[in-house]
Amino acid sequence: MLTAKKRGKDLLDDLFAPPLYKYHTLERTTLGEQVIETTERENTKMILATKSRFRAVIHITHAKACEQILGYNVFTSDGPFWKHSRAMFRPQFSRELINDLESVENALQLFFQALGEFDHEKWTGYVDVVPPVYRLILDTSTELLFGESGNAQQANLDMQAGKVKDTSIGLPGGDEYNAAFQLCSYWLLLRVRMGNLAGLFEKSEHYRALNIVRQVPDSYIAKAIKGEKRQSKQAKFGLLSSLVEHTRDQTELRDQCMRNSLCWQRHHLGFDTMDVVLPDSEPISIAESAGCRFLQHVINESLRLFQPVALNSRDAVKDTILPVGGGDGTKPIAVRKGQTVRWNIYAMHRRKDIWGEDALEFRPERWEDPRKTRFLGSGWAFNPFPGGPRLCLGQQYALTEAAYCIVRLLQKYDQIELDPNSAAAKDGLRTQKSLGAAQAPTELRLRFHEANGPCA
């Protein structure tokens, strides 16, 4: 993995996924551990829907690796503590709170500023949108978690304008904080893949980055424990407000918040055809965005190609079988107690026998086909948010926010162009990705053309 990264290879496209296009279930040996990896729908259903056969937590070595960075929380736990953690999170994702997008709209206005001013031809300059999108998500997620924005976007705009200097290593909008966040994300992947040998590759900079990232939740937690009132009159109820009602343990509070700080940045937007079905410029309602059929297709197609988590795994709690994968690929396959089974969502979503010869292409129109829409819900071939008891609590919030942001972008800009000199353009439009807590593009240089009429 480290060698492939140094050679500029894409870990998913060049290393993990290709063998699974031919052999849909195979066995890999990683550091002496035999891991079954699959892209079969029947196997995925067995893993996720059968609680008695597969432990709903990652391999114990991997759990310990994650705890070093994420702490002990709803992601790295199982059993009573997991149920307790999930119960604390669930009220935060009620329909009323999900549909309150005022904070998202405020954050988007700063995001538009970050994309740059228009020239005389109404174009912005080329800009790498990954950092601005990252700061946008950081602002909206901190408001969700803590009841007030981390102001990463405003801090960055102020630094660019020369109003402040990035003198605080804990400043969310600063380059140093962003670099620390990305390093922690990659470190997480390294620890999971290398297991007990991860320590051989760790450096002091990893621990320094972790301390930087922890400063943000720690500052909010300290205020919450002391019962300090939030300064902003617009401050809302956040997840932390609920958590402090259950525990005052600063470490537990930080652990629960850290898991939710590591998130995916979506970047595939269907700009060419969507503007003909959207309202002109005003902020839209949830009902309007949900009623836009093609918008839902765009989001589904984005999640098919670039789901938040590309790989996931479970342990067998007893000797069991998977329905297919043995012999010629159609026979059952034995799984030993304690053996790890990994399902590769990234490769599954690119199987040509399921999605067609154009499986690697971004085509929202494919979701008009009833043969594809049957995969929604319990189809198991489309699995961007793992199903079963550990179904992502924030799934609907993420989808709602994504839909709202896409529509507002299309109201603001009517054309988007890829920088012809960017790595993506030179590499046949293949998206270069980084892997960590989630997959994300490493760079995406675009310019934007102003739409007719103002955008509120």
Overall average pLDDT of the 197-222 stretch = 80
Adjacent-strand bridge partners of 320: 335
* CA–CA distance, 9 with 15 (Å, rounded to integer): 8
User: Percent of the chain at pLDDT above 70?
Assistant: 68
Give the residue, 19 or 258, on which the prediction is more confident.
Answer: 19
Tokens representing 419?
Answer: 């920088």
Nearest one of 311, 312, 314 to 53, comparing CA atoms: 314
What is the per-residue pLDDT across 26-55, written as a single tens digit (0 to 9) for each?
999 877 788 999 999 999 988 887 665 665
Relative to beta strand 33-38, strand 340-344 is parallel
pLDDT per residue over 242-276, tens digit each? 777 777 777 767 766 665 554 433 333 333 333 33
- Between 398 and 245, the higher pLDDT residue: 398
Higher pLDDT, 86 or 14: 14
pLDDT number for residue 438: 65
In the prediction, which pLDDT does 262 show? 45
| DSSP strands (E only) in 126-249 | 127-128
The H-or-E segment that residue 297 falls in is helix 293-305
Separation CA 211–CA 258 (nearest Å) = 12
Q: Structural domains in the chain? A: 50-308+384-450 (1.10.630.10)
Q: Which of 59-63, 327-331, 369-373, 376-380 has the lowest mean pLDDT?
A: 59-63
Distance CA 2, CA 105 (A): 40
Selected residue with higher pLDDT from 58 and 160? 160
Residue 455 annotated in ligand binding: no
Per-residue pLDDT reduced to its tens digit, 150-163 = 888 988 898 888 87
Q: Once rounded to an integer, what is the mean pLDDT over residues 166-184? A: 67
Tens of pLDDT, residues 404-422: 999 899 899 999 998 999 8
pLDDT surpasses 80 at 94: no
